[in-house]
A = this chain, B = another copy of it.
Amino acid sequence: MESTSTSKTVPPTVVILGGGFGGLSAAKTLANKPVSVTLLDRTNHHLFQPLLYQVATAGLNPADIAQPIRHILRDAGNITVVLAEVSSIDPSSKRLLTPQGRSFTYDYLIVAAGARHSYFGHEQWEGNAPGLKTLEDALELRRRILGAFETAEMAESEEIRRSAQTFVIVGAGPTGVEMAGAIAELARHALAADFRKIDARKTQVILLDAAPRVLPTFAEDLSASALKQLRHMGVDVRTNKTVKELNAEGVTIDGEFIASRTVVWAAGNAASPLARELGAATDRAGRVLVNADLSVPNHPEIYAIGDMASFTHQTGTALPGVSPVAIQMGRRAGQNILAQIDRRPTRPFKYFDKGSMATIGRNRAVADLKFARFGGFLAWLGWLFVHLIFLIGFRNKAFVFLEWAWAYFTYSHGARLIYGAFRPKVSPPGSA
């Protein structure tokens, strides 16, 4: 694990920080090449984030969308996977430090530690409006969403029942749209027959965005299609709305107060704070402004990729924080390190955009394949197909396919479990 200087006999050491789409893609590029690679991640698994909202809404199991990183890389004899958190990076001594005081030295470093949600200076909102980035996030949201229906069923006043059956999703990008659709379906189909006192179908799902339209990064006609599909599912879409205040009782937007026990934050990203330790300029989202070859300015031995990189050389604006960008960047960073070792010039990164998709619900999605744009059933089939293809491992593909088939034909969600602490507040304030 400890590396020394580059010599003829000792292969150069590459440390990859993060086992997400970018880090894993870099590791695969460097697999069984003449480098000694250490991949550090604070979890033991690679997570397929695009399907994380289905874990949060009880459609999939955690294990369906996650795989142990060391299992994925088991055939790469030159790669060591270490479960460790990194608390700081020192580019001058080429070292990474863990909170326990362990250190890892590198000759080359790929920083791919991703992003967390940004609350735009209102970090105190996080407790009442968690985001959705990790399996823990997804299980916490699942606990809150299923718990809200239990709270409603036990509610001792109509006011509490209504606030428990009101879900607010802040941010109408792909994650927000997917969450809104999935909660609406959960209430209308999967839970409808299970409760005695409440009508789960009367659940209110409110989707907010400060932008004038949903899916603001998509073409306008697809935004319009998504809006129509969301409304058809009963989602209350409110655009041009900014959150002014947020607490345990609900959300205040532009003077109006929405009483809600369950708020999901799907607005804005902030790159890992480790980005600031690389000594380079960052953009407003905390991302490193990388060179054209993805290296960090003044540090040709460090590459920043994925959600941590702001790459503006191709389109003038930063590429979006989506998995195809991270995967392609990981490949380029790995190839550029191999080029440096061979004393060849590095090559600039070029993103090949195959398009984008967002699902809204059963039979509903939008797709932009560059050569064609469409919404509805065909987009939904395409979305299913693409996500199955990109899931890692045959087992996960097979089980997710079966879960989806089961849910499609029975209208049920298989993973409706609350575990961990659930503390309902069912009495009006001030009562016993």
**B139 and A44 contacting across the interface, CB-CB below 8 Å:** no
Whether A71 touches B139, Cβ cut-off 8 Å, given contacts A44-B146, A395-B406, is no
A395 contacts B419, C-beta separation under 8 Å: no
Any B CB within 8 A of the CB of A342: no
Give the contacts of A42-60 with B (CB-CB under 8 A).
Answer: 43-45
Number of copies: 2
Report if A193-B43 is in contact (Cβ < 8 Å); known contacts: A395-B414, A415-B63.
Answer: no
Q: Which of A43, A194, A412 has the most CB of B within 10 A?
A: A194
B63 touches A419 (CB 8 A): no
Pairwise interchain contact A45-B418, C-beta atoms closer than 8 A: yes
* Given A146-B44, A395-B412, A432-B101, A74 contacting B420 (CB threshold 8 A): no
29 A–B contacts from the bound complex (CB under 8 Å)? A44-B146, A44-B416, A44-B417, A45-B416, A63-B415, A63-B416, A66-B417, A68-B194, A68-B416, A74-B193, A74-B194, A77-B196, A81-B196, A83-B154, A84-B154, A84-B424, A100-B424, A100-B426, A100-B427, A102-B427, A134-B419, A135-B417, A136-B420, A395-B410, A395-B414, A398-B406, A399-B399, A399-B402, A399-B414
How far is B427's CA from A101's CA once the two chains are assembled, in angstroms? Answer: 10
Query: Which residues of chain B have C-beta atoms less than 8 A from A194's C-beta?
Result: 68, 70-71, 74
Of A398, A416, A427, most B-chain CB atoms within 10 Å:
A416
Contact of A61 among B62, B139, B422 (CB under 8 A): B62
Choose from B45, B154, B402, B427 the contact partner of A417 (Cβ within 8 Å).
B45
Given contacts A44-B416, A81-B196, 19 further A-B contacts (CB under 8 A): A43-B418, A43-B419, A45-B418, A61-B61, A62-B415, A63-B416, A63-B417, A70-B194, A70-B195, A71-B194, A74-B193, A82-B154, A83-B424, A84-B154, A100-B424, A102-B426, A134-B419, A139-B419, A398-B402
User: Does any Cβ of B come within 8 Å of A150's Cβ?
Assistant: yes
Question: Is the CB–CB distance between A83 and B135 below 8 Å?
Answer: no
Residues of A bordering B, CB below 8 Å: 43-45, 61-64, 66, 68, 70-71, 74, 77, 80-84, 100-102, 134-136, 139, 146, 150, 153-154, 193-197, 395, 398-399, 402, 406, 410, 412, 414-420, 422, 424, 426-427, 432
Q: Which residues on the B side are within 8 Å of A417 (C-beta)?
A: 44-45, 62-63, 66, 68, 135
Which residues of B are found within 8 Å of A84, using beta-carbon distances?
154, 424
Query: In the assembled complex, which residues on chain B have CB atoms less than 8 Å from the CB atom of A139?
Result: 419
A-B CB proximity, top 9 nearest: A63-B415, A61-B61, A44-B418, A83-B150, A70-B194, A135-B419, A68-B416, A74-B193, A74-B194
**Residue of B with least CB distance to A64:** B61
A91 CB to nearest B CB, Å: 22
A415 CA to B197 CA in the complex, in Å? 36
CA distance A410 to B153 in the complex (A): 44
A135: chain B residues within 8 A (beta carbon): 417, 419
Query: Nearest chain-B residue to A403 (Cβ)?
Result: B399
Distance in angstroms between the alpha carbons of A71 and B150 in the assembled complex: 13
| Chain B residue at minimum C-beta to C-beta distance from A154 | B82
Docked complex Cα distance between A61 and B74 (Å)? 23
Chain B residues whose CB sits within 8 angstroms of the CB of A195 once the complex forms: 70
B66, B81, B83: the one within 8 Å of A422 (CB): B83
Q: Smallest CB–CB gap between A154 and chain B, Å?
A: 6
